[in-house]
Amino acid sequence: MTTSGSRPAPQGPGVRATPIPGLLVVDLVVHGDARGWFKENWQRVKMVAAGLPDFEPVQHSVAANGPAGVTRGVHAEPWDKLVSVAAGRVFGAWVDLREGPTFGTPFTLELDESVAVFVPEGVGNSYQTLTEGAVYSYLVNDHWSPEATYTMLNLADPTVGIDWPIPLAEAVVSDKDQAHPTLDQVTPVPQAKTSGRVVVLGAGGQLGRALLEALPDAEGLGREDLDLTDPGAVESFDFTGVEAVINAAAYTAVDQAESPEGRRSAWAANATGVAALARAAVVHGFRLVHYSSDYVFDGTKDVFAEDDPLCPVSVYGASKAAGDLAVSVVPRHYLVRTSWVVGEGKNFVSTMTDLAERGVDPRVVDDQVGRLTFTTDLAAATTHLLDTGAPYGTYDVTSTGDPVSWAGLTRTVFELTGHDPGRVTPVTTAEYMAGVTGPVAPRPARSVLDLDKIQETGFDPVDQLTGLTTYLDGKKDS
């Protein structure tokens, strides 16, 4: 464990995910000198911005321990809490006792003054002191009550196999903790139902339909229900009881956005309307999910990461970048950046499939490179972020696999649908645009997004070729 003073102090806390959904490790900023140290153990604005839930704590409890080896738990309590150390060092151990695929999953970590852990309701919490006089602190979002129902697990459960630094036979353990049941006798804690409504905007679009399939209890709204281009409509909308808003609504006519009328429409939907939605999220406290685009970049790098500077080259890209900036000020937001979206409805792949079937030999751009994103995968990534309590912020989500040009993609579509890929003629962007009438938007030459951050949360996007094959097979069956 790194101690304070052995590393440069960061500007704010850092938040890391763990194998247990919603269990988050917080790297605290500790200021130390010859007098001792100081830290902000809970700082709402900074920590929520870093990715912790705004869990609204109401009680602070402190446990002072005597000798090394004091061992407590495993207790899953009916509230969320932030645990930390005020003095000494402890070995923390957590076990997911909630119903679901991660039931029984353990996670361990040594805690000193520089590390805290956010423990969601239903996750068993325990610790063992490694130093004499360790002081253990926990901040909870409900008041302790003798009537509260706890779910317990035996510290020595063999199936979980916690590797206690001090063997339990030599540790200080209460009789009650020694008598807790083993995992096979534990009734899983029911998953808490979302306490509020989930609203999907743009419900009629490709992504909106996929989201409603992934979230069957969500409320889908179209433009006739809430028009994002009218900030007054957003301001007057009744967000009472809304826990999360997923915004899949956008103006996506990239070329038309270069016209005077299209420019106004793009900015109204992608920037002004999104800013109004961001204000509503701050006022009403709901989580906001918003989708961004590879068009916020200029395409001059091999791969773009979440923290690369915005540098759009088109009106559409600029309007999306403005929306990104508005969403970034919302304390609880997921900004999901994607590219080359394919779902149920009109899209590039469906158009090329249709051309192949009709005997049309297309000329397709070969100097724009990227990866497809399937709406089913994008919806799955969204539910993953919401369900696991991943740190808030921006995440790139596309398919994995080798990047490909539009022409290369089209040849693959022809081949997978039983047509001669030699019918596809690759051309440059300049050659293709030479025959286009009307407004034309500049395109990024490379739209490859870095996927490390979303994969670190435990979500693995589908391979591009696998997703394409599945998508085309589904079209055959429909």
Bridge partner list, 33? 36
Strand 219-221 and strand 197-201: pairing?
parallel
Strand 242-247 and strand 287-293: pairing?
parallel
Question: Which one is catalytic: 127, 138, 395, 471?
Answer: 138
Cβ(120)–Cβ(205) below 8 Å: no
> Measuring CA to CA, which residue among 313, 410, 429, 282 is closest to residue 368?
429
Mind giving me the DSSP string for 199-240? EEESTTSHHHHHHHHH-TTSEEE-TTT--TT-HHHHHHS--T
Q: In angstroms, rounded to a whole number, what is the distance separating the alpha carbons of residues 132 and 65?
A: 7
Catalytic annotation on 75? yes
Peptide bond into 74 cis (omega under 30): yes
| Backbone φ/ψ region at 363: left (φ over 0), alpha (ψ -120 to 50), beta | beta
Q: In angstroms, rounded to a whole number, what is the distance separating the alpha carbons of residues 417 and 356?
A: 8
* Residue type for position 281: A
Cβ(26)–Cβ(47) below 8 Å: yes
Cβ(148)–Cβ(77) below 8 Å: yes
Catalytic annotation on 290? no
What is the CA 208 to chain-centroid distance, rounded? 17
Sign of CA dihedral 168, 170, 174, 178: positive
Catalytic residues, by residue number, are: 75, 138
